[in-house]
Amino acid sequence: MRNCSIAVQRYLPHEHAEPFWQHFTVPFDESTSILDALNYIKEELDPSLSFRWSCRMAICGSCGVMVNGIPKLGCKDFLRNYLPRNYLASESTAAVSAAEIRIQPLAHFTVERDLIVDMNEFLVHLEAVKPYLITDAGADETPLEKHAQTLAQTNKQTPAQLAKYKQFANCINCGLCYSACPQFGLNPEFVGPAAIALAQRYNLDSRDQGKAARMPVLNGHNGVWSCTFVGFCSDVCPKHVDPAAAVNQGKVESAKSMLIQMFTGRG
């Protein structure tokens, strides 16, 4: 194994008023992820380091950090990506690479401690777009059994119907796109890329009738029109959700719904 140097931005509000950098030397091989390195630091060098993780397989979305200034999932990103080729190719195991990897908490979120950020604001934005199927089925007096049959029938989808929203359903709520979004950085009230992708995920679902309930959030002051289309959200998304495409689709839907509202009074 070779060694590399990792700088981690620490923040311990009860001990230091300001964040500070701490430097570690970490052994690695081809398969060492950023998350593995953080776990090595915690287990072998400094148990006080705090960070979130759970699945280690890019599913739970909890291990997001900035690596050299770019939002990444710690479990899906590898130390080898940041080290010079000549160092990786060298036979030397003792030397530490001159290149240092810098790990920081996700940008644009309030830091609670070390690499742990407050995700509440993000969750509020997700919740605002009503991220669940809204149907008319429950609004009538249909007996329960008949109601279940109706639901089973109406919930059937063709592969083409599924394909319309499937990409947006791949979101793991990691928040990387919010860290990449300059608009969210300037205005935390902006509903943001993942929430807009989530709204589209349900608006495009053939089983859903909740679009009218979601459009006020997308049409509003902090909705789709706040996006300045930098597109970095889609670049950093680890699941290829392409939230920037969702924002564009959301703008088309928003324009349509505003026109309908203008001419009919209905959104």
HSE of 111 in the Cβ direction (CA atoms, 13 Å)? 21
Residues 192 and 173: their CA atoms lie apart, in Å, by: 12
Q: In angstroms, what is the minimal distance from the CB of 12 to ligand FES? A: 23
75 binds ligand SF4 (CB under 6 A): no
237 binds ligand SF4 (CB under 6 A): yes
Residues 258 and 219: their CA atoms lie apart, in Å, by: 8
Dihedral of the alpha carbons of 171, 173, 176, 177, in degrees to the nearest 10: 60
Q: 254 forms bridges with which residues in the sheet?
A: none
Q: Near ligand SF4 by CB under 6 A, which window of 12-20, 110-118, 175-183, 224-232?
A: 175-183
- Count residues binding ligand SF4 (CB under 6 A): 14
Tokens 């080290």 identify what position?
83
First-residue to last-residue Cα distance in the chain: 61
Q: Near ligand SF4 by CB under 6 A, which window of 13-21, 103-111, 191-199, 258-266?
A: 191-199
243 binds ligand SF4 (CB under 6 A): yes
- Sign of the alpha-carbon torsion through 120, 253, 242, 172: positive
Q: Near ligand SF4 by CB under 6 A, which window of 40-48, 74-82, 113-121, 168-176?
A: 168-176
* Residues near ligand FES, by CB under 6 A: 53-56, 58-63, 73-75
Residue 176's binding partner among ligand SF4, ligand FES, none (Cβ under 5 to 8 angstroms by kind) is ligand SF4
One-letter amino acid identity for 132? Answer: Y
Q: Which member of 4, 49, 101, 197 binds ligand SF4 (CB under 6 A)?
A: 197
196 binds ligand SF4 (CB under 6 A): no
Q: In angstroms, what is the minimal distance from the CB of 10 to ligand SF4? A: 25
Q: How many CB atoms lie within 10 A of CB 237?
A: 23
Residues 11 and 105: their CA atoms lie apart, in Å, by: 10
Q: Near ligand SF4 by CB under 6 A, which window of 21-29, 84-92, 152-160, 193-201?
A: 193-201
* Contacting positions for ligand SF4 (CB under 6 A): 171-177, 193-194, 197, 237, 239, 241, 243
